[in-house]
Amino acid sequence: GAVVSQHPSRVICKSGTSVKIECRSLDFQATTMFWYRQFPKKSLMLMATSNEGSKATYEQGVEKDKFLINHASLTLSTLTVTSAHPEDSSFYICSALLSSHDTQYFGPGTRLTVL
Amino acid sequence: GESVGLHLPTLSVQEGDNSIINCAYSNSASDYFIWYKQESGKGPQFIIDIRSNMDKRQGQRVTVLLNKTVKHLSLQIAATQPGDSAVYFCAERPEGAQKLVFGQGTRLTINP
């Protein structure tokens, strides 16, 4: 149980385009999901907390107009990287909060490369 | 400010030996701690957690110890196997918060 998926697993795009990443909790409902960014050999950096039916809460320094988050259902949150640039290239990971366990379970990550 | 750190960035152990990964945290108000394992190119995988009202918790081949006096967390892996090679992250959750604060990570390498 507590399986979280992400799609796509890898994406390559051109500068200036937008990319949408999906995060799904497959066997449980999650009112709260989180989006992280991870650089090579570094730890996870929380970008935002996504709450179903309300606006996401962004961490300091994260541009909300750049990284659009939509949590439209109890099993799906999306992160859209708008007008992507090479510096946005990174490993993006989501997690979903399993309330009954009070624990975050992570997706497999999405590798974004912006050319 | 809040910070969660690890004493050693890398750790190498012989297959079959026990390994101990340490973590220091600074927020005494944190009430929940988790260890995650991350293999290359994958998302973190939950290993074991512990709440602040406990000082020890055991799982399958893993034990987490919490010392609130010195704000120290450790993960013990018994009889290490090649599949244990990964980066291990500790994370703390400040009381009343939903988000986690992650440590820097320790790369564990199991030598055959």
Q: Given an 8 Å threshold on Cβ–Cβ distance, is B98 in contact with A108? A: no
Q: Does the structure show a pLDDT above 60 at B6?
A: no
Q: Is A2 exposed, middle or buried (0-12, 13-18, 19+ CB in 10 A)?
A: middle
A-B CB pairs within 8 A amount to 45
How far is residue B9 from each of residues A28, A37, A42, B80, B89, measured CA to CA in Å? 34, 20, 11, 18, 10
Q: For position B85, what pLDDT does the model report?
A: 97
Distance CA B97, CA B30 (A): 9
Average pLDDT over residues A57-69: 96
Chain B neighbors of A93, CB-CB under 8 A: 43-44
| Cα of B79 to nearest chain A Cα, Å | 26
Low-confidence winner among A46-55, A81-90, B61-70 (lowest mean pLDDT): A46-55
Which pLDDT does position A14 carry in this prediction? 97
Chain A contact present for B43, CB below 8 A: yes
The residue among A91, A58, A88 whose CA lies nearest residue B87 is A91
Q: What percent of chain B has pLDDT over 70?
A: 93
Q: Is the pLDDT of residue A4 over 60?
A: yes
Q: Is A106 in contact with B46 (Cβ distance < 8 A)?
A: yes
pLDDT band at A101 (very low <50, low <70, confident <90, very high): confident
Q: A42 to chain B: which residues are within 8 Å by CB?
A: 104-105
| pLDDT tens, position by position, B41-89 | 999 999 999 999 999 999 999 999 999 999 999 999 999 999 999 999 9
> Which pLDDT score, from 0 to 100, does residue B5 have?
54
